[in-house]
């Protein structure tokens, strides 16, 4: 509900649907043709990677932002495939999600900077 409120606080934006499983997310995306999908990596029945791949296979024009508890460099690199156009850590949602959606809707990508590097890296 917090994400819905955050996204709908932007003038002109509305959230069409929310899915509780990966299977439901795929079905909703293919039926409703949203401007963008925000996909949690951890979902029952089908994880976010598999659901994103299924959406991309049938509708590569629908951009996807992955939403995850942990965004290690390996996970972010795995996201940078197909129609996955961005990634946001759950802990950074209030700060990054609106910017990520704007970037992706503008045809750009939004991936977090490598946080494993030091200040000089």
**Tens of pLDDT, residues 7-39:** 888 898 888 788 899 999 999 999 998 999 999
Angle between helices 48-58 and 22-32 (to 10 degrees): 20
Residue 40: in which H helix or E strand, if any? strand 37-40
Q: Where do the structural domains in the chain lie, given as residue ranges? A: 2-9+18-105
Q: What's the pLDDT at 75?
A: 67
Residue 23 CB contacts under 8 Å (≥ 6 apart), including other chains = 45, 46, 51
Q: pTM of this prediction?
A: 0.83
- Superfamily of domain 2-9+18-105, CATH level 4: Response regulator (3.40.50.2300)
Q: Measuring CA to CA, how many Å separate 104 from each of 84, 110, 121?
A: 10, 7, 27
Tokens linked to 87? 């990634």
Q: pLDDT of 49-78, one tens digit each?
A: 899 999 999 999 999 999 888 776 666 666
Contact criterion met (CB below 8 Å) for 51 and 28: no
Residue 120, number of CB atoms within 10 A of its CB? 4
More confident residue, 113 or 84: 84
């Amino acid at each position: 509900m917090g994400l819905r409120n955050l996204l709908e606080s932007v003038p002109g934006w509305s959230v069409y649907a929310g899915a509780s499983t990966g299977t439901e997310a795929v079905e909703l995306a293919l039926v409703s043709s949203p401007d963008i999908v925000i996909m949690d990596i951890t979902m029952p029945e089908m994880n976010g990677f598999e659901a994103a791949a299924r959406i991309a296979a049938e509708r590569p024009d629908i951009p996807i932002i992955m939403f995850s508890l942990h965004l290690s460099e390996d996970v972010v690199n795995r996201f940078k495939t197909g129609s996955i156009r961005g990634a946001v850590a759950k802990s950074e949602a209030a700060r990054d999600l609106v910017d990520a959606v704007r970037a992706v809707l503008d045809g750009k990508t939004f991936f977090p900077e490598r946080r494993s590097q030091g200040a000089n890296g």
